[in-house]
Amino acid sequence: MQETIVVHHPGTPNRTRPAGRARLVSGAWEIGHNGQVTAATSAQAVHTVHRPNTTAIGVIVWLGSEVMFFAGLFAIFFTLRSMAPEQFAEGHSVLNVPFATINTLILVSSSFTCQFGTFAAEREQARATGKSPKHWGAIEWFYLTVLLGGIFVAGQVWEYATLVSEGYVLNLNAYTSAFYMTTGFHGLHVTGGLVTFLLVIGRMYSARRMGTREVSSALGISYYWHFVDVVWVALFFVIYLLPYFS
């Protein structure tokens, strides 16, 4: 009469096998042909360690210092405004508010195109898979973002040229100094963002496939671009709209 051994797996039905052949492959015990029970190696669960994106964290920390920088500019603007309200009222009267509104909408639109590009990067889709925008990759969306950002900067340069032609130069009074300083520093940040976008696009072109480095770059520039957009919305309200309510 052949002896049988019952091998039980938790969560699985009992299995009955002959003693000479019984073997628990994935369990903790192994039974040899002579019936001797010995310890067997069992597989251990592998736990994935999720580390934070160091590039994104670095950008966020750096943007914290940028918040302080622009907070200082806002403080200077309001201080000069309180010291020379007549100059600020006169300066606001020559601003082309409708044009600035359109320019603002263009920059805000670029924030959406930037985010669509970031979504594509997170899907590890660098290039378009079709002609429709819904098939675009990160490169196409970022190119559109650069175009919109370039239009915004060009519009700002045109506004400067118009004001200078009317005699409103940088050192004319407190208002022109505050206006050119706040909007000018922001324009430099936008220009720096456009250059960074081109560098990120170049990195995506040079890579065979979207990897961690390319995705991290896309996330970093998206955080920066959303930041400069939010700063401009605040500047637009303070410089162009707030005087109507004061």
| Rounded CA Rg of the chain | 31
Length of the chain: 246
Which has the closest alpha carbon to 118: 228, 200, 191, 227? 200
- The long-range contacts involving 142-145, CB below 8 angstroms and separated by at least 24 positions, are 142/113, 142/114, 142/117, 142/197, 142/200, 142/201, 142/218, 143/201, 144/110, 144/113, 145/110, 145/113, 145/114, 145/117, 145/197, 145/225
Could you give the domains of the chain? Answer: 4-39 (no CATH), 54-66+79-245 (1.20.120.80)
Binning pLDDT at 50, 70 and 90, where does residue 54 land? confident
Which has the closest alpha carbon to 62: 227, 214, 197? 227
- pLDDT one-digit tens code per residue, 148-178: 999 999 999 999 999 999 999 999 999 999 9
**Tokens encoding 244:** 């109507």
**Tokens encoding 93:** 């009267």
Q: Is the pLDDT of residue 17 over 50?
A: no
Q: What is the DSSP string of 130-192?
A: SSSGGG--HHHHHHHHHHHHHHHHHHHHHHHHHHHHTT--TTSSHHHHHHHHHHHHHHHHHHH
- Which residues are registered as beta bridge partners of 31? 37
The pTM is what? 0.77
| Across 19-28, 50-59, 76-85, 101-110, least confident range | 19-28
SS3 call for 18: strand
For the residues 45-56, what does the mean pLDDT come to?
59
* Residues 121, 76 contacting (CB under 8 angstroms): no
For 19, 86, 92, the CA distances from 89, given in Å and listed in that order, are: 98, 5, 5
Q: Is the pLDDT of residue 16 over 70?
A: no
Backbone angles phi, psi at 30, to 5 degrees: -130, 130
